[in-house]
Amino acid sequence: MSNQNLVIGASGTVGSALVQNLRARGQTVRLATSRAPTQPDQVQLDVLQRQGLAAAFQGVQRAFLMAPPGYVPQDHLLVPLIEQARAAGVQKVVLMSAMGADAAPDTPLRKAELALEASGLAWNTIRPNWFMQNFHTFWVQGIREQGRIFLPIGSARGSFIDARDIADVAAELLLGDAHGDQAFDLTGAEALNHDEVAAILSRETGRDIRHQEIPPEAMLQGLLGAGLPAPYAEFLVMILGYFAAGYAERRTDAVQRITGRAPRSFAAYAREFRAQWVV
């Protein structure tokens, strides 16, 4: 069997960093893309329509799985990928879920986690907390245009994680056997509230950036106005409610344990991406 690694979501924030990491280690990587391939190492995969699954997994030894954003019943997308991995004789699967997914057995992501655990495949599940990268992607417009982080999260803290740390953990788990058949909650090393986040962004950019509390209803209307599908917009507001309730504050040492180094700090992230918030 060829020494092939399949990365689902290869053009995304975590997936692209994982591809870079694996290639730097001399690994062969197959990039799953929803668009027509433009290079030899890409394979077209329509997860929603379940098209291209067999070709994507053919000859694959290790696979990184995640559900594309914008779709709430993630198990409908992930379980067929897990089944295909088993049918193709994949040796190791790393599934990216989300912190808190294991709180109840009937949530979509937990159903996918349980399907992987029951599959007979060698596996790891990673459950990252909220990404630092959200501040220069999802929340960037309010910061750029008005110097405000508009979120309904009160003074709750989050142990934000850099997406590249998630990718580094995924690479270690894909290629190694030291942590087999375990799930890990991934967090940064510090828990910050959004006033503290805003202070760091202000310091790095020289701008006056602040968190401005908004009602969940206003958040929902903003997401719908940005063109998000209603079920996904409602899902985001719901999980922001969990953040506001304090569920994102917990910290773990998983990044340090698996990669052998401390996770990146929010200040380091802000320094590196400062140009994203400077108008």
Give percent above pLDDT 90 in the chain. Answer: 91
Verdict on whether the full-model pTM lies above 0.85:
yes
1 pLDDT band, cuts 50/70/90, is very low
Q: What is the pLDDT of residue 146?
A: 97
In the predicted model, is pLDDT for residue 204 greater than 70? yes
In the predicted model, is pLDDT for residue 236 greater than 70? yes
33 pLDDT band, cuts 50/70/90, is confident
Q: Shortest CA distance to 47 belongs to which of 20, 22, 65?
A: 65
The mean pLDDT of the chain is: 96
Per-residue pLDDT reduced to its tens digit, 209-226: 999 999 999 999 999 999
The residues, ordered by sequence, that sit 6+ positions from 175 with a Cβ below 8 Å of its Cβ are 22, 25, 27, 62
35 pLDDT band, cuts 50/70/90, is confident
CA 215, CA 66: separation in Å to the nearest integer?
Answer: 30
In the predicted model, is pLDDT for residue 2 greater than 90? no
In the predicted model, is pLDDT for residue 187 greater than 90? yes
- The CA-to-CA distance between both ends of the chain, in Å, stands at 51
In the predicted model, is pLDDT for residue 230 greater than 60? yes
Amino acid, single-letter form, for residue 228: L
What are the E-state strand segments in the chain? 4-7, 28-33, 42-44, 62-65, 92-96, 122-128, 148-151, 157-158, 182-186, 192-193, 210-213
Q: Residue 147: which region, alpha, beta or left (left: phi > 0; alpha: psi -120 to 50)? A: left
Helices 74-87/108-117 angle, 10° precision: 10
CA 72, CA 121: separation in Å to the nearest integer?
Answer: 25
What number is the average pLDDT over the span 110-134? Answer: 98
Give the residues across from 33 on adjacent strands.
44
Q: How many Cα atoms within 13 Å fall on the side-chain side of residue 199? A: 5
CA 118, CA 110: separation in Å to the nearest integer?
Answer: 12
Decide the pairing of beta strands 92-96 and 62-65.
Answer: parallel
In the predicted model, is pLDDT for residue 139 greater than 90? yes
Per-residue pLDDT reduced to its tens digit, 149-184: 999 999 999 999 999 999 999 999 999 999 999 999
CA 88, CA 194: separation in Å to the nearest integer?
Answer: 45
In the predicted model, is pLDDT for residue 247 greater than 50? yes
Q: What are the structural domains, with CATH classification, of the chain?
A: 4-128 (3.40.50.720), 130-160+188-250+262-279 (3.90.25.10)
Q: Three-class SS string for 69-128?
A: CCCCCHHHHHHHHHHHHHHCCCCEEEEECCCCHHHCCCCHHHHHHHHHHCCCCEEEEEEE
In the predicted model, is pLDDT for residue 68 greater than 90? no
CA–chain centroid gap for 20, Å, is 16
